[in-house]
Structure 1
Amino acid sequence: MSYVIHGATGAQGAPVVSVLAAAGKSVVALTRRADAAVAGARVRPLDYSSSSELADAYRGAEGLFVHLPAAAPGDREAYVRHIVAAVREARPARVVFSTSGSGIGAPASPPSIPVDSAAATLIAGLEASEVSYAVIAPRVFLENLLLPTVVEAVRGQGVLRYPLRADFPVSWASHQDIADVAAVLLERPDVTGTVGVGQFPAVTGPDLAEAFAARLGRDVRYEAITPAAMKESITPLLGEGAAAGVAAFYQALGALPDHAIRPEHSAQELLGVTPQSTARWLADIGF
């Protein structure tokens, strides 16, 4: 029996492959790169364009890890249709889906996911398929702090600039946190529904700056910027459309009192898995 991992060479999928391979599991790494080599896994070049090909990859799987790649909304909806059709046909023993932080809603976990979104369609499809599944719901990824425009200001000016107000608590999580939770959920069919993944208690911008300061051995202060300023800084890196999406996300967050998980829905409570602190994450990535 094998574990099938989507996006196995990407930021979320690659750590899941590593965790499972280190545990001695048989792993099938799905990637759109035909020339990819993934340590500890059998590579299967495959995208989301064919439900029959996906079903062939899913068939007989002990577990399936899914997250949706960045793409135009129409493409993402097509991916979801193919994934759901393949799950219904192949019926893997267990499916774990990461929302990749796409949910925004009231300050409670699970987060509200727009009913017309691809993520909501996928969750509804998994529910209707009657396979065993769970949803991972991170809030904001710590890796977002590694954007060149953010890191350069931290290193060069001692300023952490980010589009969240200084008193806004967030349950930050790393890609490694997602992988650790996914690996457990793939083998825990007794845990269903949505699992919030992130730091608890949630931390603010000044808390993040303090962790950077401790790592660098010098002062780092936090400065809240507007979503529009963030958009302007990242447009050359991500493109106009993607940057606008990022800005809209943080604009929506600005209307909330926090973006924190709640203990009763957390990986800490449900699985006994505690996400990294910011300081530990910075040390682990060699910042």
Structure 2
Amino acid sequence: MGGAVVTRNRLHLGRAALTVVLVLLGILMLAPLVWLISESFTQESAAFDLPPNWVPRPFTTENFSAIGGLIPFWRMALNSVIVAVITTVGSIMVSLLAAYAFSRCSFRGKDKVFGLMLAALMVPAQMTIIPVFILMRHLGLIDHLAALWLPALINVFSIFFFRQYFNSIPRELDEAATMDGAGHFWILFRMLVPLSGPAVAAMGILTFEASWNNYFGPLIFLSSPENMTLPIGLVTLQAGQGGSSVVVFAAITAVVVPVLIVFLFAQRAFIASVAAAGIRG
């Protein structure tokens, strides 16, 4: 009896110690973000004091107002939203169709084609940027937003992710739907996609974040300020236009916070889908 009590107490102490360690790590990870947001609302004369100000004093919103006078921030934000939304919706649609074909359809060379696609994941984007640039130039899409979202419609990792999730769904459901006269599109969009809601949400978050933070693509394909996206705008604000540090911090806050809000609302679906795809697949 006494041994059981000791064991129980040790488990409680271990869990308490683990909780304390995780809380401390969480605080260390959140501290730079909190400091960034605090400095973005602080007047430049009082910024970067030591010890750091975790609460903005004196409080001001002038840093955010000054962004528009240095770069076309809202135009760049609109460009980023357009590219991110088209990339996210388009790539998920293409990936769902391709994943369904690799998971549910039988055709000659399916495994070889899928293996070739997975091999493409090992090729860095920097190695394919030259042929993609030449293709976009022949299509007349240089310095156009389509040069960013059109190549991004093919997402090999997304196809692999959805295929693994579809493989975890029993095929008996497909057979029952087929006996009732359902076709491939009905099975995909009326049955598999609703059952794959967490996977779609997770891939939507990953795709949107990757597109929103994409710096390499806009740097290569875009040249006009009115066509640039926010990552290029932040670099321009810091280097080319001589923006002060607190204004740069304010711009970074305006770029980072929306993505964090989206992730906070969808984090449960994200975690559930990753766990399901990893365990079931």
TM-score class normalised by the smaller sequence: under 0.3
- Under a length normalisation based on structure 2, what TM-score does the superposition of the two structures give? 0.21
Q: Greater strand percent: which structure?
A: 1
Larger Rg: 2
TM-score normalised over the length of structure 1: 0.21
Higher relative contact order (CA 8 A, sep 6+): 2
